[in-house]
C-alpha cells in the first residue's frame, strides 16, 4: 500500500517571510522524517507530497495514492485545515484524520463550544467578541480568559489573557483583534487543574490513551499554557501522567467530546477543572502535532507507556478500518 504524506513545512513559510510565531503551527522537517520512517517501518510505501499546492498539481497530473496521511495545517481562513481533506474527498482518496467538516468546525473554538454545550458536555461559559464594540455587551463573571478564536500552539495566549476587570477586558480584546484579525473568545476562567487527553480511534472504536496534567513551573508565564510556555516547555512546563479520579473524569469528558464532534483516528482534547474540580472542555485538536519528542500527543503517549510507533500504528489502524482496506 502506498501512503502519501501531506504537510506544510515550516521552513518553506519562514523562507517566504513569515515570522516564527506565524509559522509556529507548521511542521519541521524532522517531524515529516519521523512519520515517514515510522510508516515504512510498519510496512507501508510512502511518498512525501507536501502542501495543498503540491497536492493539487500532482492530482491534476493524474497521480493517486491508496491513502494519504494528512497533517497539512493550511494557511488562510477558518477552513484552512479542511482544504486538503476537501480536495482529497473530491478525488475519492481516503485519508488519515478528521474530515473537512470537523476540521472547519473545530478550528473555530467558539463554534466548537456551541456544539459542545448543545451536547451537554461541561465547558466554561463564553462570549465571542468580533468587534471592539462587542465588549460592552459581555455579561460574564470575572476573571475571564481571552484568546484568538482560531489559532493553535498557544498563539495569542499569555500573561495578559487572564482578565480581572472591564477596563482591562477592552484593552486586551482590542489588542487581540488588531494583531490576529479574527474574533476573540472569552471564557470564564477555570482555576483548577489542567489536563490534556490523548485519543485514538473513531466513533465507538475510539478510546482515551491517557491523560497528562500540565503544570507550570517557576519562570513560566502565569495562568496560561501560552505560546511562550509551549515554546520553552522543557524549562517551564512539567507534564505528569495523571491517573487519579479527576483524570479519569477528564478522559470521560474528552472522549464524549471526541465522539460528539465526529473526530477521527487520533488527536487531543484540552480541559481545565472548575472550582468544584469538574473537568471542563476547552478545545479539541483533531490535527494534533506529532513530532516524536516535542509534541503534546506523543509526550502524553510516552508518559503512559505507548511508543511513537504504537501511536502511529493505532492511528493507521483506525484510518484503514474506516477506509475498508
Domains and CATH numbers, the chain: 2-96 (3.40.50.20), 125-188 (3.30.1490.20), 191-323 (3.30.470.20)
In this prediction, residue 160 carries a pLDDT of 87
What is the three-class DSSP state of 49? strand
Report the alpha-carbon distance of residue 130 to residue 132 in Å, rounded. 7
| Percent over 90 (pLDDT), the chain | 83
pLDDT at 247 over 70: yes
Mean pLDDT for the stretch of residues 33-43: 98
CB atoms within 10 A of CB 217: 11
Residue 236 or residue 96, greater confidence:
96
In this prediction, residue 223 carries a pLDDT of 66
In this prediction, residue 116 carries a pLDDT of 98
Residue 176 or residue 235, greater confidence:
176
In this prediction, residue 11 carries a pLDDT of 92
Q: Which residues contact 146 (CB under 8 A, 6 or more apart)?
A: 161, 163, 169, 172, 173, 176, 184, 185, 186
In this prediction, residue 122 carries a pLDDT of 98
Report the alpha-carbon distance of residue 138 to residue 133 in Å, rounded. 10
Amino acid at each position: 500500500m502506498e501512503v502519501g504524506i501531506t504537510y506544510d513545512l515550516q521552513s518553506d513559510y519562514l523562507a517566504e517571510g513569515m515570522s516564527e510565531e506565524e509559522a509556529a503551527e507548521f511542521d519541521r522537517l524532522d517531524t515529516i522524517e519521523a512519520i515517514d520512517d515510522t510508516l515504512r517501518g510498519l510496512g507501508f510505501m510512502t511518498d512525501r507530497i507536501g502542501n495543498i499546492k503540491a497536492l493539487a498539481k500532482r492530482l491534476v497530473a493524474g497521480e493517486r495514492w491508496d491513502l494519504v496521511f494528512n497533517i497539512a495545517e493550511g494557511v488562510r481562513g477558518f477552513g484552512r485545515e479542511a482544504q486538503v481533506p476537501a480536495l482529497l474527498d473530491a478525488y475519492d482518496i481516503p485519508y488519515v484524520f478528521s474530515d473537512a467538516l470537523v476540521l472547519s468546525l473545530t478550528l473555530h473554538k467558539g463554534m466548537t463550544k456551541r456544539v459542545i454545550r448543545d451536547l451537554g458536555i461541561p465547558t466554561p461559559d463564553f462570549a465571542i467578541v468580533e468587534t471592539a464594540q462587542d465588549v460592552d455587551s459581555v455579561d460574564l463573571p470575572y476573571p475571564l480568559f481571552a484568546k484568538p478564536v482560531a489559532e493553535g500552539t498557544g498563539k495569542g495566549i499569555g500573561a495578559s489573557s487572564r482578565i480581572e476587570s472591564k477596563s482591562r477586558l477592552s484593552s486586551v480584546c482590542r489588542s487581540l483583534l488588531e494583531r490576529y484579525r479574527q474574533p476573540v473568545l472569552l471564557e470564564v476562567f477555570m482555576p483548577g487543574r489542567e489536563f490534556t487527553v490523548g485519543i485514538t480511534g473513531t466513533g465507538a472504536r475510539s478510546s482515551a490513551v491517557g491523560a497528562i496534567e500540565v503544570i507550570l513551573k517557576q519562570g513560566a508565564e502565569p495562568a496560561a499554557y501560552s505560546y511562550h510556555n509551549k515554546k520553552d516547555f522543557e524549562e517551564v512546563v512539567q507534564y505528569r501522567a495523571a491517573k487519579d479520579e479527576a483524570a479519569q473524569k477528564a478522559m470521560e469528558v474528552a472522549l464524549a467530546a471526541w465522539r460528539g464532534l465526529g473526530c477521527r483516528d487520533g488527536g487531543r482534547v484540552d480541559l481545565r477543572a472548575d472550582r468544584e474540580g469538574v473537568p471542563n472542555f476547552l478545545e479539541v485538536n483533531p490535527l494534533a502535532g506529532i513530532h516524536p519528542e516535542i509534541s503534546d500527543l506523543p509526550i502524553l503517549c510516552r508518559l503512559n507507556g505507548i511508543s511513537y510507533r504504537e501511536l502511529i500504528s493505532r492511528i493507521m489502524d483506525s484510518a484503514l478500518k474506516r477506509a475498508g482496506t
